[in-house]
Structure 1
Amino acid sequence: MNLSVVYQPAVSASTSAYRVRDNQGGELDWANAFLDGQRLRQLSPRSLRIYAYDLLDFARWFEPQHRLLAEITESTIVDYVRHQLEQDPKPTSQTVNHRLGTVRCCYRFHTGQEIPAGQVHFQRRYTRRSPLGYGRLRTTVARGLRLKQDRPVIVPLSAEEVAKFWQSFRTYRDLALVGLMLLDGLRSCEVLALELEDVQLADGQMRVRGKGNKKRLLPLPPDILEVLGHYLRHERPLTNSHALFISLKGRQRGRPVTAAGLRSLFRHHRVRSRIPHANPHRLRHTFGADMVRAGMSLPALQQLMGHSQIATTMLYVELAPQDVWREYARAIEKRKALDSSHLS
């Protein structure tokens, strides 16, 4: 059975546009019923796409066994993990864990229960406390196999790298795109989802649709206000599209900038500026680190960046190595000053 994910515009508000089908057009009922259920929950198309590809990977391994979804156990999950780890290239631990989470959600959707243990038992006991470090430790027991994930450490761009990357852009559209990530912390998908009506130049603010279609109102820095004004008056092609950012030339002129187009734009300017690690996520991380250095509170930064959990915000405020060394040098100088005062 040759399975694939097919995109077809949804004919109703309760049907997912992403479907798992075989090469003859037949639908994989248990997978598509789950996707339709998530569509009822008003999940974003991006989330539905991710779920669809997670289920596709599991179905390609599971369906040739001619078993029912209700028959799987944690032993099945272990065999599925072994299958993934034997692939070349091997998926990351984060990818494997996300797939397992989707399979477990799908099982609960159809049975109303957790996946039974089977012949193996994975139970993890760990302690938790508030992300801010206060409160009592709480013991939590987690069941089910989960791979250990390396904690991501993303070093923000330095001021020199930001300046060099920024100077490689020439059009007002591109400057506005990069500026919204760097000075407002927007995700790449949030920038591409902006529409003309979301930008309120007179009030100096914009409406952003984040993950889960959650809306938040953000200020527009004066520099970005000026660049956006020039783009809208002088560069943006006449088009019926409601998207804020439009392709300026080529066969796609007048159409919204796509995710692939944005990736291509960044690839070009990484080569041109010789800043190989400049990407939308790193610009967003640089914004978070800069705001913390400037003294912004974590709750305010959480609101600006659209995080539902403050623990996520704290991942963006890891100190860069240069910050650590700066604090170390400051502490050493303070210690020397104290020692000299005691000696005198």
Structure 2
Amino acid sequence: MEYGVLSDVCMQVAERSCHPGGWSVRSELPVRAEQYLETKRVERGLQTASLVEYRRDLADFCRWLAGRLRKDPEDLTDADLAGFDRDGARRWLAHLADRELAPSTRDRRWSTISGWFRWMVAEGVLARDPFAGLERPVRGERHKRLPVYLSEAEAERLLRVVLSDEGLTPRQKAHHARLKERDHALVTTLLYQGLRISEAVGLRYGDVDFEEETLRVIGKGDKERLLPLHRRTKEALLRYLATWPGPKKPKAPQDPLWWTLAGRPLTKNAAQVAVKRHLTRAGLWRASAHKLRHTFGTRLAEAGVDLLVIKDLLGHATVATTQIYAHVAQRRLREAVEKIR
């Protein structure tokens, strides 16, 4: 299979040259890995953040394999990959087990590398899959760690702090006065719609239907979902749009929903910094923007909402990812029962 322009994540490929036994590229990865990344980008519509994780996993594996073969990762050939057999796969899994990696990281590494080898078999590059028949080593561990989330009281305190200028200097108060309604609307959207920060920042003005009270969200893999617009989200957004003092504000359906005082669309990093600043002011130092999404999912589970409904609201690919919120709800129920003496 021939591949043309590689994705932005794969732009470290500078030159290609054909050698007996396979392709070699001047890159941190062999060309088969670059081709696999491009396949994931084109066929599955993976976004840059996901591709970066895939690239990191592939680079980690290729460094390990190249080290055993005493060569550079970019010089790995098809013959080298074909020589990676089931014993090699077991040695790599043992190497992963010896490292202090989070269970979710080990699980993702397995998924990425085993998926790469399955792809090479399907493409006719390799004759057999060294991972075929091996048991996934960390299956089931990825959901053992319960999510960090805000209590109802903490969430309300955060929303109050966003609008308050208590503890700020006169200069900070002036800046805060211009941003508070935007930031309050952003935090409210994260808390009451359960969006990923990238989804929230990617909202367009036309995605919000105030009359029908719906919110159109583009999630991972460009998958679209239509959410009911929570009353508090609607109120916060209307206040933001009515009072925004910046030189630009959304008017056309394709306009970004969030803007900066400099007249530029709000970026993901800037949004994360803004949310983190308010969390810190509220005394919630360990929390982050993503924890507001966890708060949404947890509160739904505690309210007895069906996991399949929570899955659709959060935009999870499978209900297995949503299962973590059931564990949280069960823990809270157990804590309540244990209070009886």
TM-score by length of 2: 0.74
Counterpart check, 1:162 vs 2:118: no
CA contact (8 A) 1:15 1:40 kept: no
Rounded Cα–Cα distance in structure 1 between residues aligned with 2:104 and 2:333: 28
Rounded Cα–Cα distance in structure 1 between residues aligned with 2:37 and 2:66: 17
Deviation at 1:33, TM superposition (A): 0.9
Select the residue among 37, 53, 56 that pairs with 2:56: 53
Q: Percent identity?
A: 28
Counterpart check, 1:243 vs 2:256: yes
Deviation at 1:178, TM superposition (A): 1.3
CA contact (8 A) 2:86 2:130 kept: yes
Partner of 2:173: none
Specify every segment of 5 or more residues in structure 2 that has no aligned partner in the other structure, as ranges.
16-24, 164-179
Taking a change above 3 Å as real, the CA distance of residues 314 and 111 of structure 1, as seen in their structure-2 partners, is closer
Deviation per residue, 1:247-301 (Å, 9 max, x gap)? 33xxxx3333333223322332232111223323322222223223334333322
CA contact (8 A) 2:181 2:239 kept: yes
Moved more, 239-248 or 290-299: 239-248
Specify every segment of 5 or more residues in structure 1 that has no aligned partner in the other structure, as ranges.
1-10, 118-122, 124-141, 334-344
Taking a change above 3 Å as real, the CA distance of residues 270 and 146 of structure 1, as seen in their structure-2 partners, is same
Structure 2 SS opposite 1:207: strand
Q: Residue type of the partner of 2:266?
A: V
Select the residue among 57, 63, 67 that pairs with 2:66: 63
CA contact (8 A) 2:248 2:259 kept: no
Partner of 1:33: 35
Of Structure 1 and Structure 2, which has the larger fraction of its residues in helix? 2
Counterpart check, 1:193 vs 2:202: yes
Taking a change above 3 Å as real, the CA distance of residues 77 and 239 of structure 1, as seen in their structure-2 partners, is farther
CA contact (8 A) 1:74 1:144 kept: no
Counterpart check, 1:153 vs 2:146: yes
CA contact (8 A) 1:74 1:145 kept: no
Partner of 2:174: none
Rounded Cα–Cα distance in structure 2 between residues aligned with 1:295 and 1:33: 45
Aligned CA RMSD, in angstroms, stands at: 3.1
Taking a change above 3 Å as real, the CA distance of residues 59 and 320 of structure 1, as seen in their structure-2 partners, is same
Deviation per residue, 1:224-255 (Å, 9 max, x gap)? 2122122223325417983222233xxxx333
Partner of 1:102: 112
Select the residue among 8, 32, 36 that pairs with 1:17: 8
Partner of 1:136: none
Structure 1 SS opposite 2:108: helix
Rounded Cα–Cα distance in structure 2 between residues aligned with 1:49 and 1:15: 14
TM-score by length of 1: 0.73
Deviation per residue, 1:291-342 (Å, 9 max, x gap)? 233343333222212223223323123227554332445xx59xxxxxxxxx
Question: Equivalent residues in 2 for 1:154-233 (5 A)?
Answer: 154-170=147-163, 171-233=180-242
Deviation at 1:85, TM superposition (A): 5.7
Rounded Cα–Cα distance in structure 1 between residues aligned with 2:147 and 2:41: 33
Partner of 1:260: 269
CA contact (8 A) 2:121 2:129 kept: no
Rounded Cα–Cα distance in structure 2 between residues aligned with 1:183 and 1:219: 10
Moved more, 303-312 or 99-108: 303-312
CA contact (8 A) 1:204 1:220 kept: yes
Aligned length: 291
Higher relative contact order (CA closer than 8 Å, sequence separation 6+): 2
Deviation at 1:97, TM superposition (A): 2.4
Q: Residue type of the partner of 1:204?
A: E
